[in-house]
Amino acid sequence: MIELRGEIALVTGAGSGIGRAIAATFARAGATVHVADLELGAAETSVAAIVADGGRAVAHRLDVRDRDACNALGEHIRERDGHLDVLVNNAGVGHVGTLLTTTLEDLDRVHDVNVRGTFNVTKAFLAGMVARRRGKIVNLASIGGVVAVRDRLAYCATKFAIVGLTKCIALDHARDGIRCNAICPGRVETPFVAARLAEYADPAAARREMEATQAIGRMGTPDEIAHAALYLASDAADFVTGTTFLIDGGWSAGK
């Protein structure tokens, strides 16, 4: 039984999908979870479910692109709980397009959330972790941060950046008691994916195509990603840092 009893955790983008599943899993493992999302109502819904399940959680509105807001949340958590043990950088956005169909504005928008956002939030907490010589950071990258995905240029560029950022933090701070790893999911059944499927002329055909990308013939679930995040955030993974943890249903097996 992996536990986070007594740990203080922050999960960004935790108002739905993978982030919500990670927050709930951490709370069931005994952590006090700070649930941050751009939509406060979504964060509050996640918190309500955690509390109803007997867990401890606090909701926050957070725009990860806003450095001052990230720093303010860092100060708030330090004042409330003294420190942060576990940070999960899950907030992110996607984009469909090749280099020819992607504008500079598209690239900037995706970069600002996925890369700048991860930088801002980590920067707000890393110094405190180093001072305590203890901290676990889990960054949500993607299969698109390990192999190219057709028609996803901006998204892949930012997720490759997250993998690089993860490795650099891990190497720079390994002897400061910090562990930093990236989870790289394949396609996962989330509200975001459901919304994208609904945009296709034939959603059922699009779903079959997405499922077929994975060697095992289906998409993953948010809980399957959350279980990996729990392991990486726990003391069971004390010898694991700088990794790209592929959870892709065999997508990359033949690459």
Q: Are 246 and 159 in contact (CB under 8 A)?
A: no
Q: Chunked in runs of 10, what are the mean pLDDT values of the chain (255 residues)?
A: 94 97 98 98 98 98 98 98 98 94 97 98 98 98 95 96 98 98 95 80 88 92 97 97 96 83
pLDDT digits (tens, 9 = 90+) for 160-187: 999 999 999 999 999 999 999 999 999 9
| pLDDT the model gives residue 203 | 87
Q: Where in the chain is the domain with CATH 3.40.50.720?
A: 8-185+222-246
The amino acid sitting at 16 is S
Q: 26, 119, 125, 155: which is the annotated catalytic residue?
A: 155
Q: How many CA atoms does the CB half-sphere of 123 hold within 13 Å?
A: 16
| pLDDT the model gives residue 1 | 75
Q: Which of 181, 183, 162 is nearest to 171 (CA)?
A: 181
Strands, sheet with 135-140, edge to edge from the N-terminal-most edge strand: 56-61, 32-37, 8-12, 86-89, 135-140, 178-185, 244-247
| pLDDT the model gives residue 23 | 98
Q: How far is CA 43 from CA 38, 48, 225, in A?
A: 8, 9, 19
Question: Could you confirm whether 155 is annotated as catalytic?
Answer: yes
CATH second-level architecture of 8-185+222-246?
3-Layer(aba) Sandwich (3.40)
